[in-house]
Amino acid sequence: MAVGFGEFRLGWKSVFASALGIGFGLSPLPFYTIGVFVAPLANEFGWSVEQIMRGLPILILGALVMSPVAGYFADKYGVRKVVLTSIPLFSLAMMGFSLNTGSISVYLLCWIMIAVTGAGTLPVTWTRAVNSWFTKRRGLALGMSLIGTGIFGPLAKIYAATLIDQFGWRLAYVGVGLLPLLIAFPVAWFFLHEASEEQLDIQDVSVGNQLEVKKLSGMTAYEAIRDWRFWLIGYSFLPVSFAVGGPIPNLEEMFGSKGFTVTEAIALASFVGFPSVIIGRVLGGFLLDYFWAPAVAAIILSLPAFSLFLMVQPDLSIMTAFFAMFLLGLAAGVEYDLMAYLVSRYFGQLNYSSIYGLLYGFFAIGSGFGPWLFARSYSATGSYDTMLKISAVLFIVGAVPLLFLGKYRDFSHK
């Protein structure tokens, strides 16, 4: 067996649980499904697209506050307690959307509630458990654990659209809200565990050496925020998250404005997650184990700039649109595992979730305000082209500075 792959013999359960937990968590479910709820909410209540998309900035501001809190509790009390508490509360909060009778204030309050209750389902918690099992194949393990967003996000979009068509938007919200409770919760209950020192202090017979995981080595959160690398990573992910997150919830409207049918628009929007995000997760994770992570990031995160320039073409064909969505999906596929990997390599495992939670705030700001600004620009101009051009430039602005991070830190003797 290749060196390092023996780690999967011990850690596969946590990877599997994390893939489902993240895939049915706060990160993908509201983000991927909001687009299919726009039309029914607008038709029933007379809300504009901009008003409906306003929920995402509210969500992100809530996640901005709550992700470091969730990370702190994961570091202090363990991942299991945090996620097993968060999942059922998040499910109930998602179902709460179905009770709205036309109040935009209640609608926005629901977004605050899912941010507060669902923060424990963000990657900041699950990836701590995965990191505890892996060293040599950490990149691949993180990519596989985060693959759920690429699979279940687009499937949830199709699932929600089907429920809306068959039963209406209220029961669709109930159906979407049940997914974390019925799928992610039982899997996490049985399979999600952090590695203990005793479990790691064993001989990996297939490899012939001990698994070298220093579970509690690394920097404290206070030390991390005083380090320039923390702020460089945060700076880089702010424009990248805007460029990735801005278009995705608006894709159905975007393709509709370019003359595609509803069926074609949903198919193109879903292609961002499946298969392109999945390929980005696995390929990106695999490359992180063999090459310097900032170089991998700079290349993969720069490619979608070309895809967004393709999107502004007036005679956009469906094949060109699929290619553009594939490149955009690659960036969406590498973002979370890249951040998780960089945190583990430059700041260690001691306060991993707390540091990741703080950095997630930069990502949250970009991905939260991006969709709303895209929708607002469309409402004002009748076109998404200006925002697509801006986002293309932002991919480059965010990706290149990562090359200045320098070599990984060694916390084995700390």
Q: Does residue 412 form part of some domain? A: no
Nearest CA to 52 out of 365, 272, 270, 379 is that of 379
Q: Tell me which residue has tokens 């920097």.
A: 219
Question: Cα–Cα distance between 390 and 259 in angstroms, integer?
Answer: 22
Q: For 73-109, what is each residue's pLDDT tens digit?
A: 999 899 999 999 999 999 999 999 999 999 999 999 9
Q: Enumerate residues 6+ apart whose C-beta is below 8 A from 359.
A: 230, 233, 234, 237, 339, 343
Q: Does residue 201 form part of some domain? A: yes
Q: Does residue 400 form part of some domain? A: yes
Q: Does residue 359 form part of some domain? A: yes
Question: Cα–Cα distance between 402 and 335 in angstroms, integer?
Answer: 13
The domain that holds 268 is classified in CATH as: 1.20.1250.20
Q: What is the pLDDT of residue 211?
A: 44
CB 146 within 8 Å of CB 22: yes
Q: Does residue 413 form part of some domain? A: no
Q: Enumerate residues 6+ apart whose C-beta is below 8 A from 226.
A: none
Q: Tell me which residue has tokens 């993908």.
A: 28
Could you give the 3-state DSSP secondary structure of residue 205? coil
Label residues 12-21 b or e (16+ Cβ within 10 Å = b).
Answer: ebbbbbbbbb
User: Roughly what angle, to the nearest 10 degrees, separates helices 148-167 and 278-288?
Assistant: 170
Could you give the 3-state DSSP secondary structure of residue 194? coil
Q: Give Cα 252 to chain centroid, integer Å.
A: 20
Q: Does residue 116 form part of some domain? A: yes
Q: Domain of residue 117: give its range.
A: 7-404
Give the count of domains, the chain. 1
Residue 257: phi, psi to the nearest 5?
A: -70, -15
Element (H, E) at 378: helix 352-381
Question: Cα–Cα distance between 93 and 47 in angstroms, integer?
Answer: 21
Q: Does residue 213 form part of some domain? A: yes
Residue 186: phi, psi to the nearest 5?
A: -65, -35
Question: Cα–Cα distance between 251 and 313 in angstroms, integer?
Answer: 15
Q: For 277-292, what is each residue's pLDDT tens digit?
A: 777 778 888 888 889 9
Question: Cα–Cα distance between 109 and 367 in angstroms, integer?
Answer: 19
Q: Tell me which residue has tokens 């159906």.
A: 175
Q: Does residue 409 form part of some domain? A: no
The strand pairing partners of 126, in sequence order, are none
CB 374 within 8 Å of CB 247: yes
CB 342 within 8 Å of CB 355: no
User: Roughly what angle, to the nearest 10 degrees, separates helices 352-381 and 385-399?
Assistant: 150
Label residues 140-168 b or e (16+ Cβ within 10 Å = b).
Answer: bbbbbbbbbbbbbbbbbbbbbbebbeeee
Model's pTM, two decimal places?
A: 0.78
pLDDT < 70: residue spans in the chain: 1-5, 196-216, 273-275, 333, 412-414
